[in-house]
Amino acid sequence: MGHERTGFRAAECRPYGTGNDASVWGGILPPQTDGGQTRPIARYNLEADVYNFFGMDGVLYKIATLIYNIMVLSLLWLLFSIPLFTIGASTTALFFVTTRLISNHERYLWRDFWSSFKSNFRQATLTWLMTAAIGFVLFGTDHSTFRTLVLLARIPLSIELVLISIYIYPIYARFDVKLTDAVKSAFIMANRHILTSVCCMAVALTVLLAAYLYPIFLLAAMGVYAYSSSFLFMRLFRKYHPEIDGDNSNICA
């Protein structure tokens, strides 16, 4: 009797009970019978499962690639932030790459990072310097003359400053906007989408806590935060620009 065609490797078909069962059926259960017809049982393809786990498209390879990308991006961010005044530009470049990874674009880490760093350097650096100056005024100067008034204003101003800082660099990374428009958009998004803002702050606090408990984690902290929060930002940005996952590097707002 001929073999039935299936998508699996089938054992040789013989009537059940003929010969040594274990050797006849290769160590697997004998074939099922249906009205005297012998039907082979498919073999378990261990080789295919091993390849699916360890191969180029396997889970292990994808996890290793993700860890590699995060480590490289974190080191690039640290390197380009050494002058301190470039933190804004390097943060924008970091989010540019991570949001493109979320959109499943081709992975050119160094090329994309450097391209975004150059194109957004001016406004991202100016934004960072302005943020640092406002932070210094709020926390680094003596307000003894108007202490009560300053204390009352410090809390909401600090919250808004943090929220705008969280949003503005991903906005620079994904949209072609001027500084004033970016600040306006960051303010509106941060206060309109409270849940997203809270989640971003929770991610940031979790990363900071991990870095505090395990200082070695500092080497990857910024990459982990940017990659994790990019899921939140891209989900939000798609509501405003559904075409944001396209091939365009930046979308005009």
**Which one has a higher pLDDT value, 236 or 56?**
236
Q: Are 83 and 38 within one domain?
A: no
The secondary structure of residue 44, as a DSSP letter, is P
Q: Are 20 and 54 within one domain?
A: no
Instruction: Give the tens place of pLDDT for each residue, 223-237.
Output: 999 999 999 999 999
Please give the pLDDT value at position 191: 96
Fill in the amino acid letter for 165: S
Q: Are 137 and 169 within one domain?
A: yes
Q: Mean pLDDT, the chain, as a whole number?
A: 81
Q: Are 160 and 232 within one domain?
A: yes
Q: Are 144 and 237 within one domain?
A: yes
Question: Total domain count for the chain?
Answer: 2
Q: Are 4 and 119 within one domain?
A: no
- Please check the confidence at residue 57 and state whether its pLDDT lies above 50: yes
Please give the pLDDT value at position 22: 43
Q: How confident is the model at residue 105 (pLDDT cuts 50, 70, 90)?
A: confident
The predicted model gives 95-101 an average pLDDT of 95
Above pLDDT 90, what percent of the chain?
A: 57
Say if CB 173 and CB 251 are below 8 A apart: no
Instruction: Give the tens place of pLDDT for each residue, 171-230.
Output: 999 999 999 999 999 999 999 999 999 999 999 999 999 999 999 999 999 999 999 999
Q: Are 115 and 203 within one domain?
A: yes
**Which one has a higher pLDDT value, 143 or 173?**
173
Say if CB 182 and CB 159 are below 8 A apart: no
Say if CB 218 and CB 211 are below 8 A apart: yes
Q: Are 90 and 4 within one domain?
A: no
Q: Are 38 and 60 within one domain?
A: no
Say if CB 1 and CB 38 are below 8 A apart: yes
Q: Are 74 and 136 within one domain?
A: yes
Instruction: Quote the strand ranges of 102-243, DSSP E.
Output: 175-176
Range of the domain at 39: 1-44
DSSP 25-92: TTTSPPPEEETTEEEPPBPP-HHHHHHHHHSTTSHHHHHHHHHHHHHHHHHHHHHHTTTSTTHHHHHH
The predicted model gives 2-18 an average pLDDT of 44
* pTM of the complete model: 0.75
Q: Are 120 and 212 within one domain?
A: yes
**Helix, coil or strand: residue 45:** coil
Q: Are 118 and 151 within one domain?
A: yes
- Please check the confidence at residue 152 and state whether its pLDDT lies above 80: no
